[in-house]
Amino acid sequence: MATTVTASHFVSHIHGGGLNSVDTTNSNLAQISLRNQPVTHHGLRKVDMIQMMKKNAILTAKQSSRSGTSSGNVIICGTGMNLVFVAAEVGPWSKTGGLGDVLGGLPPAMAANGHRVMTVSPRYDQYKDAWDTSVLVEYLIALSQDSVKKNTVRFFHCHKRGVDRVFVDHPLFLEKVWGKTKSKVYGPNAGTDYKDNQLRFSLLCQAALEAPRVLNLTNNKYFSGPYGEDVVFIANDWHTALLPCYLKSMYQSKGIYKQAKGRFAFSDFSLLNLPDQFKSSFDFMDGYDKPIKGRKINWMKAGILESDRVFTVSPYYAKELISGDDKGVELSTILRFRTVTGSINGMDIQEWNPATDKYIDCNYDITTVRKLDRSLYLEVMDAKPLLKEALQAAVGLPVDRSIPVIGFIGRLEEQKGSDILVAAISKFIDLNNVQIIILVSTPGTGKKSFEKQIEQLEVLYPDKARGVAKFNVPLAHMITAGADFMLVPSRFEPCGLIQLHAMRYGTIPIVASTGGLVDTVKEGYTGFHMGDFNVECATVDPADVLKIVTTVGRALAVYGSTPLTLAEMIQNCMSQDLSWKGPAKNWEQLLLSLGAGGSEPGIEGEEIAPLAKENVATP
């Protein structure tokens, strides 16, 4: 049956970043590998009473019977690892941006390689496809320094594209976000965080550590029963950076998961249910007043320090992270002590497929393809003018296929450089026959001035510009398909998915030379580079405005004067394999190099491989 192995691992994978701001949206994928004693979970056992915190917190797990679950036999597939991804977002159930995309796409790709894969994320809404497992875990959580309350979380579950999708149900998630998923995951509006995010995400981390032990899952003939303790946890972003600490303090110190592997007020450390020995890993000073002045705890710092390895989402960003405090989220010194490995993200080629995309008027591919029903996909050069016209009509711009259209899609954050773009538009729009369509997400009181800039565009340039401040998936697809160019003027960009989506749709990216944009876009071959931008978010640097103006000029010249070059670039973009298949193999190598659970490569497979093929429906 299960194996006994030694060595503990914890790996961090940074896939977001932040600049000179306390309120960084830095992402951290932290990976914990756990292997331990023989796993013989037949049904549910009561988890030992575990001292969770000095205030005598208790963790118990109960499982009631769930129709359809197995007798609890653990079937060992022979190859592959047990992987548990933990994150605040998991697309398409919850997504505010690229983090949700990665959690949507990478796990199925790992499942396709023959690994048993689970994701654990909050149940923000009543997802129609996820069922109550009736498995409960009780925690005592500290609401304040003196108040401790008993809390119960439930696990909901579904199995899709070969992945066990587990959702942690608790009022801290559901009651706050219910019916508003996609926009209110982290706060009531953009730029404002829920005051109890620390509590919410520490609860997620604690619940996630229980899920593989207590959930008795039977989804296909290859795997059944709980995942057990022979598991690799992959914790994403600062929200889950407490995982390694809880793992060490609550589990490994008790002989459980033995082999495994924001910034808040310093006084809040006592709310985290962690022993004092971890204090120094969290200890952090910065020059900002938020959330309070002076000394703080920093979850990211602890996640990085307590992990065995640090990964990030592109090789170039890995270098940038240690290049200085501005790109290293003020953690560059800490990061310099670690080896940061960069592995580029893939994209979800099912959701983003011009040949099947349900949001666009006609489907297309790099060449004409006859479908099974004998109808044709159009060839890209025939389809794009039609899709451009549909896009122009949809946003109310003059419909004219000869006018080049530039698109921009991104969260309304300083990172994305929409303010630099707005300044640049005023410099190039009157000089050129061009249209520009900007789609920004999560508008809210926190970013009112940015939002205004975007909405003013159509007042200033009624025939040339449109700005939409909404999270709008259909429009994102229409822009990606119908625009000629996609502008990505990011001040920093750990990987970036927008440019990958664009290239797959034959839309040529015009990018800032930072992070994953450097690794994924080749100047003159698959896109245009603008040079790197000033990372200071508070001001718009005129030099960056000029970089946009000049490079847009170059791109428009190619559009107007050398259509053959343009057509070649479109072919170059579309002929790349941008799927998760290659990145998933890299991930596998990285995980295997840890000697993690299974420690064998999985089986080779297509992106949706035999194991994962059993349920390919997306919600």
Q: Which residues here bind ligand ADQ, judged by CB under 6 A?
A: 15-16, 27, 97-99, 101-102, 313, 345, 409-411, 439-441, 471-473, 476, 493-498, 516
Of 97-105, 111-119, 162-170, 605-613: span binding ligand LY7QZA5B (CB under 6 A) = 97-105
Of the pair 493, 519, the CB lying nearest ligand ADQ is at 493
Nearest CA among 476, 494, 264 for reference residue 358: 476
**Smallest distance, Å, CB 101 to ligand ADQ?**
5
Give the span between the Cα atoms of 504 and 352, in whole angstroms: 8
Q: Check binding of 124 to ligand LY7QZA5B (CB under 6 A).
A: no
Q: Output DSSP code: residue 269.
A: G
Q: Check binding of 328 to ligand LY7QZA5B (CB under 6 A).
A: no
Choose the one of ligand ADQ, ligand LY7QZA5B, none that binds residue 432, judging by a C-beta under 5 to 8 angstroms depending on kind: none
Choose the one of ligand ADQ, ligand LY7QZA5B, none that binds residue 472, judging by a C-beta under 5 to 8 angstroms depending on kind: ligand ADQ
Of the pair 219, 418, the CB lying nearest ligand ADQ is at 418
Of 35-43, 190-198, 336-344, 564-572: span binding ligand LY7QZA5B (CB under 6 A) = 190-198
**Torsion angle defined by CA atoms of residues 261, 266, 267 and 271, in that order, rounded to the nearest 10 degrees:** -30
Of the pair 191, 560, the CB lying nearest ligand LY7QZA5B is at 191
Q: Are the CB atoms for 392 and 405 separated by under 8 Å?
A: yes
Q: Check binding of 193 to ligand LY7QZA5B (CB under 6 A).
A: yes
Binding ligand LY7QZA5B by CB under 6 A: which of 5, 16, 304, 520?
16
Q: Are the CB atoms for 354 and 363 separated by under 8 Å?
A: yes
Q: Check binding of 89 to ligand LY7QZA5B (CB under 6 A).
A: yes
Binding ligand LY7QZA5B by CB under 6 A: which of 139, 156, 186, 471?
186
Give the span between the Cα atoms of 4 and 597, in whole angstroms: 10
**Smallest distance, Å, CB 257 to ligand ADQ?**
26
What residues contact 407, with CB distance under 8 A and at least 6 apart? 436, 437, 438, 439, 479, 480, 482, 483, 485, 486, 487, 502, 507
User: Rounded to the nearest 5°, which phi and psi values hold at 85?
Assistant: -90, 130
Residues constituting the chain? 619
Q: Are the CB atoms for 297 and 263 separated by under 8 Å?
A: yes
Nearest CA among 557, 568, 569 for reference residue 404: 557
Token readout for 240 is 């889950």
Sign of CA dihedral 533, 534, 540, 546: negative
How crowded is residue 102: how many other Cβ atoms within 10 Å of its Cβ?
32
**Smallest distance, Å, CB 3 to ligand ADQ?**
32
Choose the one of ligand ADQ, ligand LY7QZA5B, none that binds residue 439, judging by a C-beta under 5 to 8 angstroms depending on kind: ligand ADQ
CA end-to-end span of the chain = 34
Choose the one of ligand ADQ, ligand LY7QZA5B, none that binds residue 193, judging by a C-beta under 5 to 8 angstroms depending on kind: ligand LY7QZA5B
210: burial class by Cβ within 10 Å (0-12, 13-18, 19+)?
Answer: buried
Choose the one of ligand LY7QZA5B, ligand ADQ, none that binds residue 190, judging by a C-beta under 5 to 8 angstroms depending on kind: ligand LY7QZA5B
Q: Check binding of 490 to ligand LY7QZA5B (CB under 6 A).
A: no
Binding ligand LY7QZA5B by CB under 6 A: which of 61, 99, 344, 429?
99
- Long-range contacts (CB closer than 8 Å, 24 or more residues apart) made by 321-330: 321/14, 321/17, 326/19, 326/20, 326/535, 326/536, 327/17, 327/19, 327/492, 327/535, 328/17, 329/17, 329/18, 329/19, 329/24, 329/26, 329/300, 330/286
Q: Check binding of 237 to ligand LY7QZA5B (CB under 6 A).
A: yes
Nearest CA among 481, 506, 499, 484 for reference residue 387: 481
Of 77-85, 93-101, 227-235, 607-615: span binding ligand LY7QZA5B (CB under 6 A) = 93-101
Of 22-30, 201-209, 355-363, 595-603: span binding ligand LY7QZA5B (CB under 6 A) = 22-30
Binding mask 394-413 for ligand LY7QZA5B (x = CB under 6 A): -----------------x--
Nearest CA among 592, 83, 10, 587 for reference residue 243: 10
Q: Check binding of 23 to ligand LY7QZA5B (CB under 6 A).
A: yes
Binding ligand LY7QZA5B by CB under 6 A: which of 72, 188, 191, 560?
191
Binding mask 443-462 for ligand LY7QZA5B (x = CB under 6 A): ---x----------------
Q: Are the CB atoms for 422 and 460 separated by under 8 Å?
A: no
User: Rounded to the nearest 5°, which phi and psi values hold at 392?
Assistant: -60, -45
Choose the one of ligand LY7QZA5B, ligand ADQ, none that binds residue 113, judging by a C-beta under 5 to 8 angstroms depending on kind: none
Q: Output DSSP code: residue 249.
A: I
Of the pair 446, 482, the CB lying nearest ligand LY7QZA5B is at 446
Q: Check binding of 515 to ligand LY7QZA5B (CB under 6 A).
A: no
Strand order in the sheet with 376-379: 364-365, 376-379, 369-370
Choose the one of ligand ADQ, ligand LY7QZA5B, none that binds residue 237, judging by a C-beta under 5 to 8 angstroms depending on kind: ligand LY7QZA5B
Query: Which residues bind to ligand LY7QZA5B, rule: CB under 6 A?
Result: 16, 23, 25, 27, 89, 96-100, 186-187, 190-191, 193, 237, 411, 442, 446
